[in-house]
Amino acid sequence: MEVLALPSVVAIRGSVSDNIVHRHHALQIVLGLEGKFKLLVDNNALTAFAAAVAPDAVHRLDALECLLILLEPESHLAVDICKRRLTGNNVVDLTHVIPEKTYRAIKSASLTKDTLTGLFSVISPIDCFRKHI
């Protein structure tokens, strides 16, 4: 299992299963690295290669191998993703948002700031690692 902690972002790559229903304040993004995963959000099931779960949404993840990203919900990136992608919903399938080239690069690369930047750039135009003055 790989873990990367950066300002406003924690990413975990490996076997991760949230086998109990829970909620947390972070925006959660999940990419299945060994095929599709199952996500239960507010008693609605979703099977996808990539998804985002809104902050504070009740959910459960069932995945073999995945990239799990938790974003500080008040960060510029998380606010934009919620507004742009979730549009008032508690979960969204991002499978068709992420190009195959980006997905392959994430699967084969180490978990780094650059890897996350490549993923975030296709989900949102906000630069999550920019310096604020």
**pLDDT cut 90: percent of the chain above it:** 83
Mean pLDDT of the chain: 91
Q: Give the per-residue pLDDT at 17.
A: 64
pLDDT band at 51 (very low <50, low <70, confident <90, very high): very high
* CA 113 to each of CA 5, 17, 75, 102, 130: distance values in angstroms, whole numbers, following the listed order: 9, 23, 16, 14, 12
C-alpha 125/C-alpha 12 separation (Å) is: 23
Residue 86 vs residue 43, higher pLDDT: 86
What pLDDT shows up at residue 12?
95
Single pTM value for the model: 0.92
Please compute Rg for the chain using Cα positions: 13
